[in-house]
Structure 1
Amino acid sequence: MQPTTASHPYTGMWITADGNIRHELLPNGRYDEARGNRESAYQGRYEVEGDYIRYWDDTGFTADGTFRDGVLYHAGMVLYRK
């Protein structure tokens, strides 16, 4: 996979419908996820290939997801671009 760059169309903020989870894909290939009142609950790096995204949390946790029709499906969550 190639590192994500600032021009990648998926960078930016993604949130669940209830706004509880806010997932920011930063242009430098890092992400910052807030949950409820807990800012920066999870942070790490990510890479995107096509519509597939893979995450490596700074604590060692890994996850993945897919973008379909403008929606991010990640770890059982559905996130929409803000």
Structure 2
Amino acid sequence: MRTEPDTSHPFVGLWVTADGEIRQRLLPEGRYVEGRGTREAAYAGAYRVEGSMIHYRDDTGFSADGEFRSDVLHHAGMIMHRRLG
């Protein structure tokens, strides 16, 4: 999907649901790691951002998308907020 790192992209970082159950780290090289519950790496794969849309393809081939709205990530029925760390 993405071939060049983009460390300046405004969406790179950690995104978390309000209850902290789902944690999605968007890495600058176009990869993501999603933690669920006690599993820190339940899913991993590649992502690309086009405007406010994010497109995912996990390492098993599953694909999904989401949308950033006012610094909130809406993805697969979840609402995720940026968290520092």
* TM-score using structure 1 length: 0.94
Describe the SS at the equivalent of 1:56. Answer: strand
Where does structure 1 lack aligned partners over 5 or more consecutive residues?
none
**C-alpha distance in structure 2 between counterparts of 1:74 and 1:57, whole Å:** 14
Residues 1-43 of structure 1 deviation map (CA, whole Å, 9 limit, x = unaligned): 8666111000000000000000000000000000000110000
User: Are the aligned partners of 2:2 and 2:29 in contact in 1 as well (CA < 8 Å)?
Assistant: no
Number of equivalences:
82
Identity of aligned residues (%): 60
User: Are the aligned partners of 1:2 and 1:49 in contact in 2 as well (CA < 8 Å)?
Assistant: no
Q: Which runs of 4+ in 1 moved over 6 A?
A: none
In the other structure, the counterpart of 1:52 is 53
**C-alpha distance in structure 2 between counterparts of 1:47 and 1:41, whole Å:** 19
**C-alpha distance in structure 2 between counterparts of 1:59 and 1:38, whole Å:** 17
User: Are the aligned partners of 1:70 and 1:80 in contact in 2 as well (CA < 8 Å)?
Assistant: yes
Where does structure 2 lack aligned partners over 5 or more consecutive residues?
none
Describe the SS at the equivalent of 2:33. Answer: strand
Q: CA RMSD in A?
A: 1.5
In the other structure, the counterpart of 1:74 is 75
* TM-score using structure 2 length: 0.91
